[in-house]
Amino acid sequence: MPESYSTLFHRHVAASFDKQLHLVDLVGELNWSFKRSTGRLSFGDRFHWHVHILGTEAYDSNTWLWAWANEASNLPAELIQAALAMKELGERQQIPEFTTAQLPLGDINGHALSLIASGVCNANGYYRGPYTGGAAFFMIQDANFPKQDTLPLARIPAVFPQVISALEIPNHKLAFLGYLQHYGLDGVQEEDRVVVKASGQPVLTAVFDAQNRLTQLEGTIKPET
């Protein structure tokens, strides 16, 4: 069955948002800089990560431009691999949002596209770097990126409510199932709920209404202190 923009958004949005929370915990208010010659995004003197440029937002035209279409910047091929991967996916699955060079900003914008790309490209996360007249979106893909160490079954109940509060997500259940898939968890659908079990006992339960909106989320595993 062909993929769609909506399918991919729901599959990756929660896990990618999770990555962004971890990134914020790491970099805080550190100043950022990007060195094109090395493809490194730096935060103060503490972090230096390899990145790909996904695309840019322009304030004057209120548009998104994919990095693969940014001929004016003459970006080297090694810096646009994530953008090219999204274009190739769009060509295979006939997803116009990934194959149209320039898009008007609205529901589809740099953050929405980066949330999808972060999952598709198995990135560590993404960073929006503002500059005069716009912003660049970088996919962080570096083996030295610090991993977050909270257990998934403890992290999901804390993070998922933040996801649906911060973002407009049409189908909470699909987003939740995608989040579980990201962590390799098997969620069993039982009438109005999705249940994750361990040793035959429920350890995570999400309840949804008739419109697939989350109404209750409970977990039995607490974050380690």
| Cα–Cα distance for residue pair 211/196, rounded to 1 Å | 21
Asked if pLDDT for residue 225 goes beyond 70, the answer is: no
Q: What distance lies between CA 156 and its chain's CA centroid?
A: 15
Segment 165-188 shows an average pLDDT of 97
Tens digit of each residue's pLDDT (9 = 90 or more) over 29-69: 999 999 999 999 999 999 999 999 999 999 999 999 999 99
The gap between the terminal CA atoms of the chain, to the nearest Å, is 44
CA distance 145 to 17: 16
Which two three-digit tokens encode residue 196? 């994750």
Phi, psi of 148 (to 5 degrees): -85, 140
Query: What's at 65, amino acid-wise?
Result: L
> What value does the mean pLDDT take over residues 22-29?
96
The pTM of the full predicted model, rounded to 2 decimals, is: 0.95
